[in-house]
Structure 1
């Protein structure tokens, strides 16, 4: 159920006796927007403008028109949410879900709190997730579980949540890596057991031997810290600035002599692994080598790579990177004379991805294509 681009700020869904809605134009609102000079041909840009005006001048005489325009703009989003939820919310019709969504979008200031157009996300996309979660919670009465929230979160959202809690950039990177490893290793969005935590610790130490040792218990604490930050980010609340930070404790701890010896051995192993990786990169075919260099050495996004190399779909870049990482993992296992059973291959593939993200300059130094980048 879509409408013309020029109608997205002035038309809304209406129901008759059936469940088949139809678009109805708000003529009064159309007259206001036309007289005020708003561009109805660019609804996304105009909706952002209306929200900014409403945020800065909520008591303006025209504020009611701005709210109505945003309400119309979100009608498609409300309908898509209602359709998506009809199979998950038992005992409720599509119209019930749609009506609940409209109640939320009737207060756009509250619904769209925290939206930042500078991040590149469309206003309707930002609203969809918030409307979906709140409608589901209202009709079912169950919030997304803590571990489900952590499983579904992305790096950008987690970074924003941790920044709001006062963490430094270095600490955010460390927490992101642990969360990413847990997301890749966890089969279900449930609290990790001891075996899974130890697996995360094992791979993390392989990737970052330069950091203080982290125990499985400390990893569990960090994952819960990330959950707390995400909850606070979704529902801002007063934060206790005197709360003890896990990484503050970790950084203040002195290494025992045996730990220093272990780190030295791990550093030597890591140097050897990078030499193996450099040789394995040289054996890639030209197309794979080009994707590798653009992604890890020149730090381009997958979307940029797809555009530069003329791929029709971005997923082709993602699949190419998966094949490359698998190739490199097998090369490392073969060079270290270790078996290539699936679980070990999966662990090493994750580790290699983190190694490359952290130390791509090391590989770039030996790459003719990327040597200018390395020297810069």
Structure 2
């Protein structure tokens, strides 16, 4: 992949894949025009990509040009997402998903990155995104593995009522229909309870006598759980309802990923990106993030890095090596355990203890230097920032952004 160096490209181009390989950078005309106007209106020619990412994130937070800002930030995060996808693909090489799959999975959830990022912490949006992208990819992979290996009947038994209701609402069902489907599902779970201790992921379809018992359970409960005049149900209707529940649950828990370059439905030309409004407002440059504020955050970020580097240097060599293996070598905890001839839970505990040690150093510095008391919310933010810093510190060197 050829890295971008020009600000105009960084905030207006998107990766395009052929099979599982990067094909080219595709430019979005509306975003390019928007960025060109802002660059021309700016009185400072040496502003960095980080500065502009903070500017667009502020616009996104303020609901000012939000869709345009989101487009610029999605373009900005393309490289961070790509390298994280590549690392995830290497780490989980046994998965059937490739780099392009992981990339699309993560970029479809870029809103979570924008909502979770706090520019006041002084960290880099790309580093934060890399850490969060990795978490989103792993969680999606875990969910998909679980769903892929489950039969419809096993999935229905694993499903919670809350998730089922959410899935049916997402499917567009009215409330009275949802109530009927939920009653069918609760009747299914009450009657169909296999006793095998293992192999429940591949549960077979219930036998005929079980279906009859489920229908009887439904019909007994319908007058109290539904409307008094609710119709009785047949075995055939019951099976159809439960199959619809399973289909809705899979679609809700395992949504299809749509590329932002996908043609809009029913049209031969045009992409989803074309729906970004053409609303450039040059006057917004007057509200740009003050350079002094950016410099203050950069200074704090540098100080935090120094604190954490000092804390890492104080660790014993095996602990330093463990951090290096986990954050830079794309090894899973299980692979590290095999390499070091230890148990996986031992590696997990040591990593947790090391993070706690570094978090304590960060909290102490914050209290002494910034006079911030480390309450639960602050510690949660620091923990996220620590993971972000470790990912950036041990990860590949940053791309040249000018």
Alignment TM-score > 0.5, same fold: no
Output the TM-score relative to the length of structure 2: 0.35
Output the TM-score relative to the length of structure 1: 0.38
